[in-house]
Structure 1
């Protein structure tokens, strides 16, 4: 999951704070981008006290530029001026190291499958052990946590992202920080509709927040029409073939302009976890805790490499990596998921955690798990039941559902 932006931010911070290049995990071979790798190598070659921009540029001029990939002095200045702190440096460095090791592991596994020697097996084992140490590289210091808490007490911390008023109570005032949220339902109960209601509420209440919506089931056009219906309250059925209906064109044009001007991006062609995480990594770094991700829906994501895994293990790996992403970048990710059919055969239709389809890891990795269901044969009522909430209470919310515009109120 290579991200040039992350790698260049790391070397930019190291240019501003040269002693950071002495970190044992700051190794040029971990970088996949040619420019970042060259700068990292120059930083590592020079003693700490001689890592001025002029000396680094001279080192690059004598070495790297011979390969016809020039890096100007102005390039170094621009990288040094990137706005990011040391906390970002250490977090990003672990991401780059993990990417390097995961790529190395894939190659080592290929080598072992072709030649099942002890040397190749030892290589696979050593890389796995190295990967296991990444999440345990922690000094145990509470200084940063203490400062973040002090900032929150003083009102200096990041503001909670407002959603629907009823949900904000469960979120302790709104979305914030590293949260993996699972929203489950049986087909046809409105997972996508509820997700888009949340998107609309977030964009309406938080002008500075950026939202990425990964749609693996519907096209951009279908998502856009649903948002138009929510915005205008024109029935969605009238927008399927709008040329055949008498519609308020001015109202529709205004809604289109508002959606296009918002901080929303919809992706309908990204299917693999790696491609999704690459976008999240880049945008989480860019928007700095003013960012929310929606994945619609979990069961359609595939891994980049076609491992011989059953679906249970595959989903477990996907949720594990999504959870790590929320922690690495302090970003809330809302993933939609289907429920298995067992719920339909019970007298009590209220979903349970065990009804999550394909993997118990969803329940394990998610900070909050909620389900949509109809408690009675009333098409205008949908309940949201919260079965897991690490930072708040459990409970049940009732929403009025307007099917013609797929609005939850």
Structure 2
């Protein structure tokens, strides 16, 4: 929407956070000081202009002072009818914080989608970096913000020193666990970068096997944008049995009777794990959606591996 255009009535879709946030700010301008609200989060350039104006106000104003002051500073941007639309777009301010959170989440998710599309069209290092930053921002925007006093934090540290800290890390290799402070911790995004052919995919498969060996009830997803599910399953079998994955191309002829028994045992173990392989989901938004659903359903920890973003 171009600045100066009248507000589109579609903006007042009940699921759209923008009019709800503006209702709160218009009826209680002091809410602008309750938390940072970035003008760039708004699709409406009119709303963005109002929020930018409010962020610069030196003191408290009431509703009439806000409207008069903005109209004087930015004549023609908001009409009387536009202000009236805001007044009739909501019924209260009790959920103001929630609507601000949704506004922020929607913005960063849209930025992630744009970054993923840009990388898909041109898989450059700059676009990859931009996509990873957008992913981290979207994840951070979705997390609940908590506030703690120094006294609270000091008491928590004293409790940990006496009773020990809760260890929620996913355990894999001993050295890696130590480096990461106890394992793969919740909410972390780890990126492994190396030249093609050095073993990143093989490492990912070995990491899965090691994690499941130590925590069999984990839920794990592996999204492969390079290899098929069958190829990754063969690698999993190779890790479990020590048999070369090349033999699984034609197992009837390549495997000895003893090896076939080992493969059958390994298959029975693997199928009991909460492990899912994906080789058809190539769009990042689709992968993220699946991760969120599976993580919400996981009861004993969740690990997702994407191999690889290209």
TM-score (norm 1): 0.40
Two-structure CA RMSD over aligned residues (Å): 3.9
The answer (yes or no) to whether the contact 2:168–2:186 under 8 Å persists in 1 is no
Q: Secondary structure at the match of 1:266?
A: strand
User: Aligned equivalents of 1:236 and 1:194: distance in 2?
Assistant: 14
The answer (yes or no) to whether the contact 1:217–1:296 under 8 Å persists in 2 is yes
Q: CA-to-partner distance for each residue in 1:38-74, whole Å, 9 max, x for gaps?
A: xxxxxxxxxxxxxxxxxxxxxxxxxxxxxxxxxxxxx
Q: CA-to-partner distance for each residue in 1:71-97, whole Å, 9 max, x for gaps?
A: xxxxxxxxxxxxxxxxxxx99994686
Aligned to 1:242: 251
Aligned partner (choices 20, 29, 36) of residue 15 of structure 2: 29
Structure 2 residue 168 is matched with structure 1 residue 182: no
User: Aligned equivalents of 2:214 and 2:154: distance in 1?
Assistant: 29
Aligned to 2:181: 172
The answer (yes or no) to whether the contact 2:105–2:142 under 8 Å persists in 1 is no
User: Aligned equivalents of 1:174 and 1:136: distance in 2?
Assistant: 21
User: Aligned equivalents of 2:231 and 2:203: distance in 1?
Assistant: 15
CA shift in 2, pair 1:226/1:287, >3 Å: same
The answer (yes or no) to whether the contact 1:200–1:227 under 8 Å persists in 2 is yes
Alpha-carbon deviation of 1:268? Answer: 0.7
User: Aligned equivalents of 1:95 and 1:236: distance in 2?
Assistant: 47
Alpha-carbon deviation of 1:283? Answer: 2.1
Alpha-carbon deviation of 1:134? Answer: 5.7
Q: CA-to-partner distance for each residue in 1:267-316, whole Å, 9 max, x for gaps?
A: 111111110110111122222671111110122xxxxxxxxxxxxxxxxx
The answer (yes or no) to whether the contact 2:223–2:306 under 8 Å persists in 1 is yes
CA shift in 2, pair 1:283/1:243, >3 Å: same
User: Aligned equivalents of 2:271 and 2:179: distance in 1?
Assistant: 30
Report matched runs for 1:9-408 at 5 Å.
Answer: 29=15, 94=101, 98-99=105-106, 138=145, 140-142=147-149, 154-155=163-164, 157-247=166-256, 248-287=259-298, 290-299=301-310
The answer (yes or no) to whether the contact 2:108–2:141 under 8 Å persists in 1 is no
CA shift in 2, pair 1:189/1:102, >3 Å: closer
Structure with the larger helix share: 2
CA shift in 2, pair 1:105/1:258, >3 Å: closer
Alpha-carbon deviation of 1:235? Answer: 1.1
User: Aligned equivalents of 1:197 and 1:142: distance in 2?
Assistant: 42
Larger CA Rg, structure 1 vs 2: 2
CA shift in 2, pair 1:291/1:139, >3 Å: closer
